[in-house]
Amino acid sequence: MKYIAIVLVLALVGCTEDQAAPVKDLSYQELKALPLDCEFSERQLTVLKDLQRMKNFDPDPDMLSEPLRKYNAMLKAKIWWYAVRCAKS
Amino acid sequence: MKKLLLISAVVSQLAFAECSVRSASINQNQAQVGPVTNLIKNLSANKCSVKFQITVNGTNQSLEGSWSGTEPPEYLCNYAVEQTKKEFLVTMGGTFRTEAITSCSDGKSIQKKLRIGDAILENDAPPHPKFLSYFQHELARCRVFSETVDSVEKTETYTGVICQIKHTNYWRVVDRW
């Protein structure tokens, strides 16, 4: 009975915990291939901003190696694309 | 602001610092003046001739002018642009207000690259050729810029976003990559 109660408690705790999906690390090619669509801007921006937070690049592009600079540029360009193209009038 | 500029000027004289004055004219009547684009500079001894385009009230204008003096070449060209622009705008009538940012460095060369957080005049950030329009971001008017920086080894191109600081003619560099 005790074991059942423990299992039930653990199961309930598991259900109520914040189940935030882990941030998926993307290669440059995967990032580049991400589609841009204003209709899904909220969801896509979350993915991109989570990725940006995870990467934590130096804000000064001159401090980054060439591949990282390229990756950072692609990431920021995609994030700003939504502000430029999807602004609600 | 005047005091700040005056202090900057005095300090620069005392320390023999290198200073750069960046200014822009604002027509206080209704004319909408866009940033300088397609700027071509032609430097010769103590003279800089410039050709560029600006948009005034939605109409593209091609302007030409020059400035002579003993200042460093880059300053001559900046003055040439500003003076040419002012002369053209004067032909449209109205009153003009000029704002300037003075940057000084203590004997070192002036850092020309834009940095995130910099407060600049709009024409310090050349428009990005593919994203010319302004857009709204967090209630501010913003646009994308493209900056080319030449060094001895290579030419680097940076992209970024500037947003207008509320109720001023200054813009903040909010991102750069």
Report B:46-105 residues touching A (Cβ under 8 A).
none
What CA–CA distance (Å, rounded) separates B137 from B144? Answer: 12
ipTM computed for the complex: 0.75
B142 to A83: CB separation less than 8 angstroms, yes or no: yes
> What six digits make up the tokens of B148?
């080319």
Average pLDDT value over all residues in chain B: 76
Q: Tell me: pLDDT of B14 over 90.
A: no
State the DSSP string of chain B: -HHHHHHHHHHHHHHT-EEEEEEEEEESSS--B---EEEEEEEETTEEEEEEEEEETTEEEEEEEEEESSS-HHHHHHHHHHHHHHHHHHTT-S-EEEEEEEEEESSSPPP-S--TT-EEEGGGSPBBTTB-S-EEETTEEEEEEEEEEE-SS-EEEEEEEEEEPTTSSEEEEEEE-
For B162, name the nearest residue in chain A, comparing CA atoms only.
A80
Q: Which residues contact residue B159 at a Cβ distance below 8 angstroms, ignoring those fewer than 6 apart?
A: A73, A76, A77, B128, B144, B145, B146, B147, B176, B177
Contact A84 B144 (CB under 8 A): yes
Structure tokens at A61: 């592009």
Give pLDDT tens digits for A47-87. Answer: 999 999 999 999 999 999 999 999 999 999 999 999 999 97
Q: What is the pLDDT of residues A6-47, one digit of tens each?
A: 555 545 544 444 456 677 899 999 999 999 999 999 999 999
Tell me what pLDDT residue B32 has: 76
Min Cα separation B29/chain A (Å):
27
Q: Does B153 touch chain A (CB under 8 A)?
A: no
Q: Which residue has the higher pLDDT, B32 or B26?
A: B32
Pick the residue with more confidence: B34 or B115? B115
Q: Taking a C-beta distance cutoff of 8 angstroms, is the pair B84, B134 a contact?
A: no
Structure-model confidence comparison of residues A21 and B161, the more confident one: B161
Q: Which chain B residues have a beta carbon less than 8 Å from that of A45?
A: none
B143 near B131, Cβ under 8 Å? yes
- B-chain CB neighbours of A61 within 8 Å are 158, 176-177
pLDDT at B22 over 80: no
Q: Confidence class of residue B19 from pLDDT cuts 50, 70 and 90?
A: low
List alpha helices for A1-89, DSSP H.
2-16, 28-33, 41-55, 66-85
Phi, psi of B32 (to 5 degrees): -95, 115
User: What percentage of residues in chain B have a pLDDT greater than 70?
Assistant: 67
Contact A83 B137 (CB under 8 A): yes
Find the residue in A nearest to B131 (Cα): A84
At residue A22, the pLDDT reads: 74
Closest CB to A80 among B116, B133, B161: B161
Q: What is the pLDDT of residue B111?
A: 47
